[in-house]
Amino acid sequence: MLDRIHAQRLADRLRDAGYTYDEVAARIGPQGLDGLARNATLPADRALDGADDPQATLIRCFALQQPVPHSALRALIGDAADEPFLVAGAGAGCRAAIEIRPYAFDDAAGEHAGWLASDLTPILDGRLAQPRGDFVLGLSPASVTLAQLTVRTPVARALDLGTGCGVQSVHLAAHAAAVVATDLNPRACAMAAFTAHLNGVDLDVRQGSLYEPVAGEGFDLIVTNPPYVMAPPHASRLVYREGSYTADGLMHAVVTGAPARLEPGGVLQVLGNWAITADQPWQDRLAHWIAPTGCDALVLQRERLDPYEYIELWLADAGLVGTPDYRRRYAEWAGYFESLGIVGVGMGWLALYRNERDQPQLSIQDWPHQVHQPVAAAFAEFTDAVTTARLSDEDLLARRLATTPDVTQETLGRPGAEDPEHIVLRRGSGFGRAVEVDTALAAVVGACDGELPLAVLIDAVAGLLAVDFAALTADLLPRLRTLIADGYLRTLDPPAI
């Protein structure tokens, strides 16, 4: 493995040769990039058109898994070309031993351009290599989604639990003064450390399971997409996707262990899977995990798969389609689910907020609808929104509320009709929530421009509709509270918890 100084020297060489995200994107084009995201190298290879200049050589070696002459590589990256962690073989047919992909992002925490190091993608151009058990995954759709939902407020200490190639740590380093990364897999720890060195990021990497390496410590933010795949115990377990726990026991351990590792006000954000059993609604099962933590929670189930769809998805991910083992593994997995009473699998996003309320807020919902990524801001606004939504009637009625700038109103009805049949309020960012409202509620929301107290607005609408103020207030307040909790309305002076 290259130490920090050698890794940073390598980063300089990669940069000098134009092996950066923007320059590689310009060279292979959007189709080349999209192809690589689908594990297809041909679009990028065609864009290179046989070239063997320095940038093309690095793209071929570290992104396309093509052989390149060792002498050419040595001329570009120096001694690093002799490092077995990076390069295998010699002569004309030397190859990358790991992938080093240019990586760039621009999020609320700032802009970044660097690289991600990971094991070689095992499925490339339809060719399949069985990944080793301790395979270290590179950037995946799940990594991207977790990065998009992570709250990017500046914090003192962040934990990247199950760091893999270190991608979340690179993001966290942009807004956390200190980042700790843990992984059960020693190879992942080495890879994350190397990624951090390449990116000039200070990362405290520790090997061990879940919260063990950080016992007794506190964090303001914990992010994880743990190995959530609920596979039967198997000798060829892939550590990056399958924990050694039964069913979703690992997710349970992540959730229940979090409060002890979160500072007051701290947030845990998880992307994962959970079991759906026949004996209770999935929301109740998760509430049962979360309630003892004393945390507020926002859980969105994005998708629900039946057991067979789920098994097929992950057998394909492991490259078992078309192999003699497929049917046996399928049957074994189906029997495992049946023995545990699992009738479906929920896939989604879970956030715990250590807000220390007397009565925590548990918002656990199905949300399969289209969202507007990044949804980080929607997770960030949850705490203040809930606090405002819980104000006493008297306090709420005295507040000046304003509609959030992304809210639009849609009216539907027959052409020429005096009144619309449906009025829908829709948020154009975050979770893209939409809700049907009646005329009175629409009128009050429409008048919320931050100028007058809510009571005055309700009184004016009561006058217009010729109804009693107290009755209209009693009717509207519960629904206004829901609108506030879902971020349609906010006060300009949020109350403290």
Ligand X SMILES: C[S@@+](CC[C@H](N)C(=O)[O-])C[C@H]1O[C@@H](n2cnc3c(N)ncnc32)[C@H](O)[C@@H]1O
Q: Tell which residue, 265, 251, 430, has the closest CA to residue 345.
A: 251
Binding segment toward ligand X, per CB under 6 A, in 38-46, 138-146, 306-314, 391-399: 138-146
Q: Judged by CB, which is closer to ligand X: 167, or 258?
A: 167
Among residues 100, 117, 120, 146, the one that binds ligand X under rule CB under 6 A: 146
Cβ proximity to ligand X, 80 vs 159, nearer residue: 159
- The smaller minimum CB distance to ligand X, of residues 74 and 302, is found at 302
Judged by CB under 6 A, the stretch of 53-61, 76-84, 177-185, 411-419 that binds ligand X is 177-185
**Binding status of residue 31 toward ligand X by CB under 6 A:** no
- The token pair that represents 360 in the structure block: 């925590």
Long-range contacts of the stretch 474-477 (C-beta < 8 A, 24+): 475/440, 476/440, 476/441, 476/444, 477/393, 477/396
Which residues are bridge partners to 161 per DSSP? 182
Task: Tell me the closest approach of the beta carbon of residue 357 to ligand X, in angstroms.
Answer: 29
| Stretch near ligand X under the rule CB under 6 A, chosen from 38-46, 140-148, 284-292, 395-403 | 140-148
Q: Which of 55, 168, 387, 491 binds ligand X (CB under 6 A)?
A: 168
* CA pair distance 240, 346, nearest whole angstrom: 19
Q: Which of 36, 213, 228 is nearest to 146 (CA)?
A: 228
Per CB under 6 A, 117 contacts ligand X: no
Tokens 């026991």 sit at which residue?
A: 249
Q: Which residue is it, tokens 């959030």? A: 404
> C-beta of 112: minimal distance to ligand X in Å?
15
Sole binder of ligand X in the list 36, 48, 56, 137 (CB under 6 A): 137
Six-digit token string for 326: 């497929």
- Under the criterion CB under 6 A, does residue 195 sit at the interface with ligand X? no
CB of 372 to ligand X, least distance (A): 21
Give the nearer residue to ligand X in terms of CB position, either 241 or 481. 241
Place of tokens 């009625």: 397
Write the DSSP symbol of residue 430: B
Single residue of 17, 170, 179, 184 touching ligand X by CB under 6 A = 184
Q: Shortest approach of ligand X to residue 264 CB, angstroms?
A: 25
Q: How far is the CB of 239 from ligand X (least distance, A)?
A: 5
Q: Does 188 bind ligand X (CB under 6 A)?
A: yes
Q: Which of 210, 345, 375, 441 binds ligand X (CB under 6 A)?
A: 210
Task: Establish how many alpha carbons lie within 13 A of residue 387's alpha carbon, considering only the half-sphere containing its beta carbon.
Answer: 15
Instruction: Single out the residue of 229, 103, 75, 80 nearest to residue 171, CA to CA.
Output: 103
By beta-carbon proximity to ligand X, the closer residue of 140 and 355 is 140
Comparison of 60 and 241: residue with beta carbon closer to ligand X: 241
Query: Which residue's CB is nearer to ligand X, number 35 or number 226?
Result: 226
Residue 370: closest CA among 299, 296, 434: 434
The pattern of x and - marking residues 224 through 243 that bind ligand X according to CB under 6 A reads: -xxx-----------xxx-x
On whether the CB atoms of residues 127 and 66 are closer than 8 A, the answer is no
Question: How many chain residues are in contact with ligand X, going by CB under 6 A?
Answer: 23
Say whether residue 246 binds ligand X (CB under 6 A). no
Question: 457-466 as b/e, with b when 16 or more CB fall inside 10 Å?
Answer: bbbebbeeee
In the complex, least distance from residue 240 CB atom to ligand X, rounded to whole angstroms: 4
Q: Report if residue 131 touches ligand X, rule: CB under 6 A.
A: no
How far are the Cα atoms of 13, 15, 70, 125, 197 from residue 75, in angstroms, in the given order?
Answer: 10, 14, 9, 29, 22
> Residues 338, 343, 345, CA angle at the centre, nearest 5°?
115
The answer to whether 164 contacts ligand X (rule: CB under 6 A) is yes
Q: Is 182 in the site for ligand X (CB under 6 A)?
A: yes
- Sole binder of ligand X in the list 121, 140, 145, 195 (CB under 6 A): 140
* Contact call for residue 143 and ligand X (CB under 6 A): yes
Question: How does DSSP assign 328-397, residue by residue?
Answer: HHHHHHHHHHHHTTEEEEEEEEEEEE----SS--EEEEE--S--BS--HHHHHTHHHHHHHHTS-HHHHH
Q: Which residues bind ligand X (CB under 6 A)?
A: 137, 140, 143, 146, 162-164, 167-168, 182-185, 188, 209-210, 225-227, 239-241, 243
